[in-house]
Amino acid sequence: MGGVLGKSDSPKKAWMPETKLEAKMVEALQRRSALGSAMKSFNSIILKFPKIDKSLRKCKAIFEQFDEDSNGAIDKEELKKCFQKLEISFTEEEINDLFEACDINDVMGMKFNEFIVLLCLVYLLKDDPTALHAKSQLGMPNLEATFETVVDTFVFLDKNKDGYVSKSEMVQAINETTSGERSSGRIAMKRFEEMDWDKNGMVNFKEFLFAFTRWVGIDDIDDEEDEGV
Ligand SMILES: [Ca+2]
Ligand SMILES: [Ca+2]
Ligand SMILES: [Ca+2]
């Protein structure tokens, strides 16, 4: 592996979080990384996809409960009530930041897959050992176990524990199982491209989450019922 100071090596710059929220994510991930990952291989994670998919789909009930006007999206006001009910004590600013970060499509409000990403971010951010109420984060043990698997997957991929997944880390993770088969590099590249939305060569936790939900099969499942157009 590289590290030699060749001409082509640009000075190694640390990845700087672009927002306060991202800085918090990186912090939380690094804290988590210190504990190591229970994952053995990327394949073992893929085998868990159906189970993760099933578990995440149960969030649909929560989503519908908080989508008070049943328009298929959760707006900021609905989200605030949701946080109150779940006793998630985030500041107004934090809720706004989370909302902006996860509300990525052009439609007003958060769709189901965005809501899942948001809950997982909440799970990660609440997992602060110094927090007063570190114990039950969301009061949904099954869901939290699933989020734990998701976070653990990221920790598994982030070999150098800097809170981001690089291309070479993805290659490394896939190579661990396929013992260097020819196709493995391509697979790793494809997975990486699916994650790196803004194509800046690095995958942050949010990008990872959106890709991950698609991998397990959560996509536009709320297109199933198109009533009241
Ligand atoms: Ca709504
Ligand atoms: Ca990394
Ligand atoms: Ca990126």
CA 167 to centroid of ligand 1, rounded, Å: 38
**Which ligand approaches the C-alpha of residue 200 most closely?**
3
Specify the pLDDT at position 86.
82
With beta carbons less than 8 A apart as the criterion, state whether 119 and 147 touch. Answer: yes
CA 194 to centroid of ligand 3, rounded, Å: 10
Q: What does the pLDDT look like over 193-215, one tens digit per residue?
A: 999 999 999 999 999 999 999 99
CA 141 to centroid of ligand 1, rounded, Å: 26
Residues near ligand 3 ion, CB 5 Å cutoff: 196, 198, 200, 202
**Quick check: is 2 in a domain?**
no
| 161 DSSP assignment | -
Number of domains in the chain: 1
| E strand or H helix at 176 | helix 167-178
3-state DSSP assignment of residue 170: helix
Specify the pLDDT at position 17.
85
CA 155 to centroid of ligand 2, rounded, Å: 9
Specify the pLDDT at position 170.
95
**Quick check: is 191 in a domain?**
yes
Amino acid at the residue 1: M
**Quick check: is 186 in a domain?**
yes
Q: What is the domain range of residue 87?
A: 20-27+36-218
CA 50 to centroid of ligand 3, rounded, Å: 26
**Which ligand approaches the C-alpha of residue 197 most closely?**
3
With beta carbons less than 8 A apart as the criterion, state whether 173 and 156 touch. Answer: yes
Task: Tell me the whole-structure pTM to 2 decimals.
Answer: 0.85
**Quick check: is 95 in a domain?**
yes
Amino acid at the residue 32: R
Specify the pLDDT at position 126.
81
**Quick check: is 1 in a domain?**
no
Beta bridge partners of 165: 203
Rg of the chain on CA atoms, in Å: 18
| 165 DSSP assignment | E
**Quick check: is 11 in a domain?**
no
Q: Which residues of the chain have pLDDT under 50?
A: 1-10, 131-135, 223-229
**Quick check: is 93 in a domain?**
yes
**Which ligand approaches the C-alpha of residue 173 most closely?**
2
With beta carbons less than 8 A apart as the criterion, state whether 205 and 154 touch. Answer: yes
CA 118 to centroid of ligand 2, rounded, Å: 22
**Quick check: is 6 in a domain?**
no
